[in-house]
């Protein structure tokens, strides 16, 4: 199944098992969040110590733990059926994959960073200068579009990109920026953006497990939606239902339930978790009572 075997993977384990292969980051800042997504999607497994594969039960899915930067390539080539990685990695590896969903996490940007003391204020100022980056492909594409005749030097490094200008190796760098803390500590400032990026769910375009890919896709979306939303329930005067529907429109429409008291109804709606305190205030103002928020763990639409 693999062109290059993941370290510690015993490929004989796959010979008699026609499982969907699902690649996820083996470590890094998103590892814990991805593990929660797998659990939320019902992909339960036990990963043995120092092992890079794990069988799911009862689903016919095998989780393959890979370096995040390799996942898009493995999915594109068909060595695995689907995976979770960054949009920046998909772009940098020029992977021909189906992007099934943005997972609304791992938000950052691939940005130009130059020394604060320099006269560089935009990517145009970097034409024909020296760039050090972990993203040589998309950096070159950016400059090729800016000026097809450019002679910009683009040097690839795998880590500690931000120190290149202070060592005299580059006039600027292209690197991921999330909070900007590392950039500022290195005496750099952001002078332009190549792309915004976040974590995505991807699949091979020709996988033979299309039905299972679709099912896992729906499960992942259901779990992600649940982590960002809450059910809110309250009693509302019938004559304020129009206001209530405006405040809490729900996914498609709020659910209205008749009560023994004919002057009020019970209303239930899906809302963004971050908006709950404000919505409760607004509902109170229109006369709503018994307002409660109810966490949800999963959903389907």
Whole-model pTM: value is 0.86
Query: Does residue 147 have a pLDDT over 50?
Result: yes
Q: In this predicted model, what pLDDT tens digit does every residue of 79-125 receive, in sequence order?
A: 999 999 999 999 999 999 999 999 999 999 999 999 999 999 999 99
The arithmetic mean of pLDDT across residues 47-65, rounded, is 92
Question: DSSP states of 64-104 as a string?
Answer: EEE-HHHHHHHHHHTSSSEEEEEHHHHHHTT---EEEEE-S
For residues 49-58, average pLDDT: 90
**Is residue 148 helix, strand or coil?**
coil
Distance separating alpha carbons of residues 62 and 124, to the nearest angstrom: 46
Evaluate the omega torsion of the peptide bond into residue 244 and state whether it is cis, within 30 degrees of 0. no
CB atoms within 10 A of CB 36: 11
pLDDT, residue 108, reads 95
Residue 16 pLDDT > 70, yes or no? no
Q: What is the mean pLDDT of residues 46-74?
A: 93
> Angle at which helices 210-228 and 31-40 pack, to 10 degrees?
110
Vertex 213 angle, CA 89 and 85, to 5°: 15
| pLDDT on residue 11 | 42
Q: What is the mean pLDDT of the chain?
A: 92
Contact call for residues 72 and 202 (beta carbons, < 8 A) = yes
Burial of 101 (0-12, 13-18, 19+ CB in 10 A): middle
For 24, the token pair is 């996820």
Q: Per the structure block, which two tokens stand in for 168?
A: 């005299």
Q: In this model, does residue 17 exceed pLDDT 70?
A: no
- 50 pLDDT band, cuts 50/70/90, is confident
Among 7-21, 165-179, 267-281, the minimum mean pLDDT is found in: 7-21
pLDDT, one tens digit per residue, over 23-35 is 999 988 788 999 9
């Amino acid at each position: 199944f693999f062109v290059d075997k993941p370290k510690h993977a015993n490929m004989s384990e796959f010979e008699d098992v026609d499982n969907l292969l699902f690649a996820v980051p083996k470590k890094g800042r998103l590892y814990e969040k991805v593990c929660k997504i797998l659990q939320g999607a019902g992909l339960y497994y036990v990963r043995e110590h120092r092992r890079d594969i794990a069988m799911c039960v009862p689903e016919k899915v095998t989780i393959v733990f890979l370096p995040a930067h390799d996942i898009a390539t493995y999915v594109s080539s068909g060595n695995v059926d689907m995976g979770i990685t960054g949009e920046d990695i998909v772009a940098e590896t020029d992977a021909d994959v189906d992007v099934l969903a943005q997972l609304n996490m791992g938000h950052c940007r691939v940005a130009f960073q130059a020394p604060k003391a320099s006269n560089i204020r935009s990517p145009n100022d970097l034409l024909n200068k020296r760039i050090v980056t972990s993203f040589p492909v998309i950096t070159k594409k950016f400059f090729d579009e800016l000026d097809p005749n450019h002679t910009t030097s683009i040097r690839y490094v795998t880590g500690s990109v931000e120190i290149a200008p202070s060592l005299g190796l580059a006039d600027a760098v292209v690197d991921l920026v999330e909070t900007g803390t590392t950039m500022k500590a290195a005496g750099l400032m952001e002078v332009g953006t190549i792309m915004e990026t976040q974590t995505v769910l991807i699949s091979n375009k020709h996988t033979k497990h299309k039905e299972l890919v679709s099912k896992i896709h729906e499960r992942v979306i259901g779990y992600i939606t649940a982590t960002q939303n809450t059910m809110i329930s309250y009693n509302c005067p019938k004559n304020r239902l129009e206001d209530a529907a405006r405040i809490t429109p729900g996914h498609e429409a709020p659910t209205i339930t008749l009560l023994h008291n004919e002057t009020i109804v019970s209303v239930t709606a899906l809302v963004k978790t971050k908006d709950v305190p404000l919505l409760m205030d607004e509902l109170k103002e229109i006369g709503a009572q018994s307002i409660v928020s109810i966490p949800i763990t999963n959903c389907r639409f």
